[in-house]
Structure 1
Amino acid sequence: MSPPLILASASPRRAELIARLGVTPAAIDPADIDESPRRDEPPQVYAKRIAAAKAAHVAARHPGAAVLGADTVVAAGRRILPKAEEPAEARVCLELLSGRRHRVHSAITLIDAGGTARHRISTSIVAFKRLTRQEIDAYLAGGEWHGKAGGYAIQGFAESWVRMLSGSHSGVMGLPLFETRALLQAAGIIASVADDDA
């Protein structure tokens, strides 16, 4: 019998994505932690640290359960873009991403019922078309950007701006399914099939 799985995230996207693996968390318990980047912290390191911290924070409340924490970071070079809360913040992000490539680091940590932590990260490269001021204005008016890393949601209208994506589409959405499935198998949450990759 597999242990109950706790999803340490309030993101409806992550709940939707994990359901694609045939997994329904026993509970959703978001971690309330300080997500401020450290001085000069590289985006990939930051994503790993926050995913691990979320999982550890929630695992302390659920002994005997497996806990999955995740964090997704949009980075322009070494600059970590915020989860936009205001239109002006989203505009700065979109103007920065317009016509150029950026990286999306999606880190996950799974702490199993015995307290063992396993970590994976998916890094994708996304390239946007050059955005006009009118396109940005219309996108901001629609509100899809709110609370999204980098000020956009690839699962919405912003997907029509993507001229190239190398990596994991689900990772850019917030939960890389290839890596998540591997961790869930390792923890006994879902069955592992010997000839899976044959």
Structure 2
Amino acid sequence: MTTECTLRRWEPLRMLREHRSKLLAGTVAATALLALSGCSGSGQTDGAVPEEGMQPPGTSIADALSENEMGATLDFAALLPSGATGAVIACPGDTVESLAESTGIDAGNYELADGTLPVADGSFALLFGDAEDRITTSTLYTGEGVDLCAGDAVASTYLGSGARIMLTGSTGAWAPIGVE
């Protein structure tokens, strides 16, 4: 009885891992096909950063979101521009100083106009970072559909490009419950 109960408890995790493996296999196959066809899709080579700084990709949060039986997963890399190694999630009430403290990235590395964050109530911003931990540009999002500032799972943190944010649906919007 105990073994059956234990196995049943871990079944959702096993299913999530299988789903992730299938998605990874599909991504690898698609990447190989693009490489063979000569299409890079980004217009850039060798991961070079554009002269004007990092330009956010045209991917919306909805396009980076994949729903499953247990909730949803947000592919964080799809929201990052070429050349970005990650991003700081800035929420209403955050300051450069509070983000420096919560992320461990020196306040002097935040190269934002007037040192201000573009975050208002009901929104959040992704402040893009590079390999030297310079935080240079940002994209503002409304909290409609997905609110990365709901709860404290990822609010006011730095996430690398490999992060996948696990979400749950609550009150009409997806809210983060963890990072994988």
* TM-score class, shorter: under 0.3
Relative to the length of structure 1, the TM-score reads 0.26
Larger radius of gyration: 2
Relative to the length of structure 2, the TM-score reads 0.27
